[in-house]
Structure 1
Amino acid sequence: MYFTDRGIEELSTRRGEEEVSFEWLADQLRTFLDLNPEFEVPVERLATWLARLDDDE
């Protein structure tokens, strides 16, 4: 188990029943980056990966 799995599990447990829009998620990521600019690269990679999930390889 990766260390980050704990955070993912907490997210799933606490908010797993909620429905959110991608616009809401994008706003939360922007806020997170405003507070934690050192995470710009990993957040950018996650956002790009999520945006391209349906692209043909």
Structure 2
Amino acid sequence: MYFTDRGIEELASRRGEDEVSLAWVADQLQAFVDVHPEFEVAVDRLATWLARLDDDE
């Protein structure tokens, strides 16, 4: 188990039944980067990866 798995598991257990829009998720990612600018690259990579999931490689 990676260290980050704990956060992912907490997210799933606390918010697993929630329905949110991708716009809401994007807003939360932007708010997170505003507070923690040192994670800007990682958040940008995650957002780009999620945005391109359906693209043919």
TM-score (norm 2): 0.99
Gaps of 5+ in 2: none
| Structure 1 residue 17, shift from structure 2 partner | 0.4
Which residue is 2:37 aligned to?
Answer: 37
- CA-based RMSD: 0.3
Question: Identity over aligned residues, as a percent?
Answer: 77
> Structure 2: which amino acid aligns with 1:41?
V
Partner SS, residue 27 of structure 1: helix
**Alpha-carbon separation, structure 2, partners of 1:41 and 1:50:** 14
Partner SS, residue 18 of structure 2: coil
| Structure 1 residue 19, shift from structure 2 partner | 0.7
Q: What stretches of structure 1 move > 6 A for 4+ residues in a row?
A: none
Gaps of 5+ in 1: none
Aligned length, in residue pairs: 57
TM-score (norm 1): 0.99
